[in-house]
């Protein structure tokens, strides 16, 4: 049993849907800064509060009052045990026909477990009786919203009910019940369920149309810990680069969750560039996104008989022999052909665009911006849209007219056909579901990547999971046509896949710590695709690496029986913070107690993490790890190492002999520079016993200064 976020139905506006798809779950906005208080019994708490107010005030253009005003909740529950969290936003339209999602029905579920302390908070369009044996808790938080926007701010669903769809989608992905026929406009039709369909869900709604607020997020974590949740699914994050752990609400709140035995699973972000990953704390499971073996394609037939393929969620199609022109050829007024090649708003001459298919370039990642572009073409009287997606994001888009995205290469092919003939024509067919895509998975281009900007010794993301074009439950009022399911993309979607799998591991191994569950998920992941070849990057086939996918693609079956785990206790995270050079004051901003730096690792690389990263290797370094036997009592593991390029790796001992369950054995991994290089290189360390394989990525960058010492 576990929990995750959820949010029920909601309103219209593709605009909002698009924000969620594109920026994806990243609804975290740092609009309200929160004072994170020291323990009430802590003598220094006043100082800490004052210091925090100063930090906050500097963020609030110097206003202490404003900073103090943002300290709204009392955190007296003190993070005593946590659960699940996700978020939502609201829009103003409300549909009164209100079908509840079949993904959250409670048929055949036993009563709510004793010991559950959560509540079902009534509000707009949401009664205390709206909860059931599946959705066992629902709360909402408006203090941040009100502090920022004023209490008069008109939001629909001042209640736990989902008005946007994001929370419904993520919650049903984590723990939705089986639904016999789910589909979006007939696409992706078939039976489907979340990762842990018997897990319970509690929803803590902290995000609104205008964003998410730290103050609400902290309060939600606080409540969830007290309510008794086991897993928190957080498809929320800030923009990169992430602030230091003691200044970042998610880092702080999740530290206390981890301390209370609650696992926090979070999205890596959708910025896509190197070093863009967020939610970087080692006590969080950070999830990147990858594709699955199903896609939504749209055939485009050119007048010369050549067929090309695009990606789309639009079922609309054009008639045969529709004239096709480049957006540049439809330039209007003061716009240059170059500007019009991007089909910017008002840049198209309606006389030229009328009844034609327009080929438009596009640089933005967001789905919203792509839908907007189809509206611009529609407004200019265009019959269809071929969007050259220069970011090659691969996200399928529900265009409002016949339309498809194509890669640069396909786009150039279409444009050169247009130039080659005086009467270019083409036809766009409606989207269809294509199964058995190979290779799959591929790392999604939008998925935020390592290295970890805050602590390069900790590999992030930790893991990858499906996040491209994912079908799950939706708030019927959140989109035109009131769909009960929809297809969206982002690390918001991959995060709850790992949440669901974590819930399964927790159900089978209820006594395991959050770190043990995380280790089981990481060490059993695969770095091979369905061709048994190394996972590649979406569309261009380049080889992906640990900065794209961490330990690899999550494997739910193997995660239940990992053989060995790399466990960490809360005090190890304190030692980790101390090894970063935290002084006691900063440390206590995180721990909220009297922790000291009596114990620190010699390097943050020594935290007993399921991956090993050495970002600055000078000649040689030894890193230690401890594995705990959670498999057969008597078992022997042999090490196998694929060293990163240019580095010699020696493991001592290279054989581990276990005689009981729970036994711990320490080993040392020695890295020595062989060939200097200035780049990160990637390897693998595996413990094998003939039955299970316990894998850890090795990520090493040789320090530039060590170049001189080698011939």
Site residues (vs ligand NAG, CB under 6 A): 39, 41-43, 125-127, 130, 299, 301, 305, 307, 318-319, 332-333, 349, 351-352, 383, 390, 392, 408, 593-594, 619-620, 648, 650, 672, 674
Closest distance between ligand NAG and the C-beta of residue 372, in Å? 20
Q: Which is nearer to ligand NAG, 6 or 126 (CB)?
A: 126
Q: Which is nearer to ligand NAG, 131 or 553 (CB)?
A: 131
Q: Which is nearer to ligand NAG, 317 or 530 (CB)?
A: 317
Closest distance between ligand NAG and the C-beta of residue 51, in Å? 17
Distance of CA 235 to the CA centre of its chain: 6
Q: Which is nearer to ligand NAG, 374 or 452 (CB)?
A: 374
CB 79 within 8 A of CB 222: yes
Q: Which is nearer to ligand NAG, 64 or 674 (CB)?
A: 674
Integer CA distances (angstroms), 425 to 144, 338, 384, 389, in order = 54, 22, 12, 21
Closest distance between ligand NAG and the C-beta of residue 172, in Å? 19
Q: Are strands 680-688 and 655-658 parallel, antiparallel or unpaired?
A: unpaired
Given phi > 0 = left and psi -120 to 50 = alpha, else beta, which region is 125?
A: left
CA–CA gap between residue 294 and residue 629 (Å, rounded): 37
Q: Which is nearer to ligand NAG, 89 or 125 (CB)?
A: 125
Closest distance between ligand NAG and the C-beta of residue 514, in Å? 22
Q: Which is nearer to ligand NAG, 558 or 646 (CB)?
A: 646
Tabulate helix, strand, coil % of the chain (nearest 5).
25, 25, 50
Closest distance between ligand NAG and the C-beta of residue 307, in Å? 4
Q: Which residue has the tokens 């529709």?
A: 322
Closest distance between ligand NAG and the C-beta of residue 565, in Å? 28
Q: Which is nearer to ligand NAG, 130 or 247 (CB)?
A: 130
Closest distance between ligand NAG and the C-beta of residue 43, in Å? 6
Cis amide linkage into residue 572, ω under 30° from 0:
no
DSSP string, 657-674: EE-STT-EEEEEEEEEES
Structure letter (DSSP) for residue 234: E
Structure tokens at 351: 């006389």
Q: Which residue has the tokens 């913070």?
A: 577
Closest distance between ligand NAG and the C-beta of residue 234, in Å? 26
CB 8 within 8 A of CB 100: yes
Closest CA to 77 of 247, 246, 264, 219: 219
Closest distance between ligand NAG and the C-beta of residue 332, in Å? 4
Structure tokens at 593: 């107690």
Closest distance between ligand NAG and the C-beta of residue 705, in Å? 11
CB 360 within 8 A of CB 348: no
Closest CA to 36 of 264, 287, 244: 244
Q: Which is nearer to ligand NAG, 48 or 520 (CB)?
A: 48
Cis amide linkage into residue 370, ω under 30° from 0:
no
Q: Which is nearer to ligand NAG, 158 or 672 (CB)?
A: 672
CA–CA gap between residue 171 and residue 497 (Å, rounded): 10
Phi, psi (rounded to 5 degrees) for 493: -85, -35
Structure tokens at 553: 């693609």
Closest distance between ligand NAG and the C-beta of residue 672, in Å? 6
Q: Which is nearer to ligand NAG, 619 or 679 (CB)?
A: 619
Closest distance between ligand NAG and the C-beta of residue 392, in Å? 4
Q: Which is nearer to ligand NAG, 287 or 328 (CB)?
A: 328
Given phi > 0 = left and psi -120 to 50 = alpha, else beta, which region is 78?
A: left
Closest distance between ligand NAG and the C-beta of residue 276, in Å? 17
Q: Which is nearer to ligand NAG, 299 or 413 (CB)?
A: 299
CA–CA gap between residue 286 and residue 234 (Å, rounded): 10
Q: Which is nearer to ligand NAG, 83 or 428 (CB)?
A: 428
CA–CA gap between residue 195 and residue 172 (Å, rounded): 8
Q: Which ranges of 421-551 does DSSP label H, i.e. alpha helix?
A: 491-508, 514-523, 546-549
Q: Which is nearer to ligand NAG, 301 or 344 (CB)?
A: 301
Q: Cβ atoms within 10 A of the Cβ of 413, count?
A: 15
Structure tokens at 308: 């090309």
Phi, psi (rounded to 5 degrees) for 182: -110, 145
Closest distance between ligand NAG and the C-beta of residue 318, in Å? 5
CB 37 within 8 A of CB 75: yes
Distance of CA 567 to the CA centre of its chain: 23
Structure letter (DSSP) for residue 676: -
Closest distance between ligand NAG and the C-beta of residue 558, in Å? 31
């Amino acid at each position: 049993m576990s929990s995750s976020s959820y949010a029920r139905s909601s309103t219209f506006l593709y605009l909002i849907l698009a924000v969620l798809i594109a920026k994806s779950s990243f609804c975290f906005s740092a609009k309200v800064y929160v004072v994170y208080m020291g323990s009430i019994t802590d003598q220094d708490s006043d100082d800490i509060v004052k210091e925090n107010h100063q930090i906050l005030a500097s963020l609030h253009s110097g206003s202490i009052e404003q900073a103090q005003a943002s300290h709204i909740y009392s955190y007296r529950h003190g993070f005593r045990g946590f659960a699940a969290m996700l978020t939502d936003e609201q829009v103003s339209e409300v549909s009164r026909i209100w079908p509840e999602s079949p993904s959250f029905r409670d048929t055949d579920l036993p009563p709510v477990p004793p010991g559950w302390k959560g509540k079902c908070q009534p509000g707009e369009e949401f009664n205390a009786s709206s909860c059931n044996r599946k959705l066992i808790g629902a709360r909402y938080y408006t203090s941040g919203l009100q502090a920022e926007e004023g209490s008069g701010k008109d939001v629909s669903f001042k209640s736990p009910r989902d008005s946007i769809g994001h929370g419904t989608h993520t919650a049903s992905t984590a723990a939705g019940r089986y639904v016999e026929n789910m589909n979006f406009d007939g696409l992706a039709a078939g039976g489907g369920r979340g990762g842990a369909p018997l897990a319970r869900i509690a929803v803590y709604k902290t995000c609104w149309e205008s964003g998410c607020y730290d103050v609400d997020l902290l309060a939600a974590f606080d409540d969830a810990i007290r309510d008794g949740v086991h897993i928190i699914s957080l498809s929320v994050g800030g923009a990169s680069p992430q602030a230091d752990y003691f200044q970042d609400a998610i880092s702080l709140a999740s530290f206390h969750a981890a301390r209370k035995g609650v696992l926090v699973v979070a999205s890596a972000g959708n910025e896509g560039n190197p070093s863009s990953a967020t939610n970087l704390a080692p006590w969080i499971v950070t999830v990147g996104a990858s594709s699955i073996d199903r896609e939504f394609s749209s055939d485009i037939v050119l007048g010369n008989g050549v067929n090309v393929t695009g990606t789309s969620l639009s079922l609309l199609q054009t008639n045969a022999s529709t004239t096709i022109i480049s957006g540049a050829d439809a330039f209007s007024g003061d716009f240059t052909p170059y500007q019009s090649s991007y089909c910017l708003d008002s840049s198209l001459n309606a006389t030229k665009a009328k009844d034609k298919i327009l080929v438009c370039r596009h640089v933005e990642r967001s789905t919203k911006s792509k839908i907007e572009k189809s509206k611009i073409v529609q407004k200019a009287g265009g019959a269809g849209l071929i969007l050259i997606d220069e970011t090659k994001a691969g996200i399928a888009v529900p265009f409002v007219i016949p339309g498809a995205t194509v890669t640069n290469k396909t786009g150039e092919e279409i444009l050169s056909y247009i130039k080659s003939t005086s009467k270019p024509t083409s036809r766009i067919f409606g989207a269809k579901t294509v199964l058995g895509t190979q290779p799959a998975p591929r790392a999604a281009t939008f998925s935020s990547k390592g290295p970890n900007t805050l602590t390069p010794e900790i590999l992030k993301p930790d893991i990858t999971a499906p996040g491209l074009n994912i079908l799950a439950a939706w708030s019927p009022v959140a989109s035109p046509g009131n769909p009960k399911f929809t297809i969206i993309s982002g690390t918001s979607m991959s995060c709850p896949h790992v949440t669901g799998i974590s819930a399964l591991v927790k159900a089978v191994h209820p006594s395991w710590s959050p770190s043990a569950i995380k280790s089981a998920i990481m060490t059993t992941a695969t770095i091979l695709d369905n061709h048994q070849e190394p996972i590649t990057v979406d569309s261009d086939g380049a080889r992906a690496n640990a900065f794209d996918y961490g330990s690899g693609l999550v494997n739910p079956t193997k995660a239940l029986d990992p053989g060995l785990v790399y466990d960490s206790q809360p005090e190890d995270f304190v030692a980790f913070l101390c090894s970063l050079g935290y002084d006691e004051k900063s440390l206590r901003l995180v721990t909220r107690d009297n922790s000291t730096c009596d114990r620190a690792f010699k390097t943050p690389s020594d935290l007993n993490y399921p991956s090993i990263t050495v970002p600055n290797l000078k000649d040689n370094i030894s890193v230690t790890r401890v594995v705990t036997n959670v498999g057969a009592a008597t078992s022997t593991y042999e090490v196998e190492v694929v060293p990163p390029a240019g580095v010699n790796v020696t493991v001592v001992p290279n054989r581990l002999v276990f005689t009981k369950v729970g036994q711990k054995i320490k080993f040392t991994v020695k890295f020595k520079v062989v060939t200097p290089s200035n780049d990160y290189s990637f390897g693998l360390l595996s413990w094998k016993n003939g039955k299970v394989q316990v894998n850890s990525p090795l990520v090493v960058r040789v320090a530039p200064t060590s170049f001189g010492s080698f011939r």
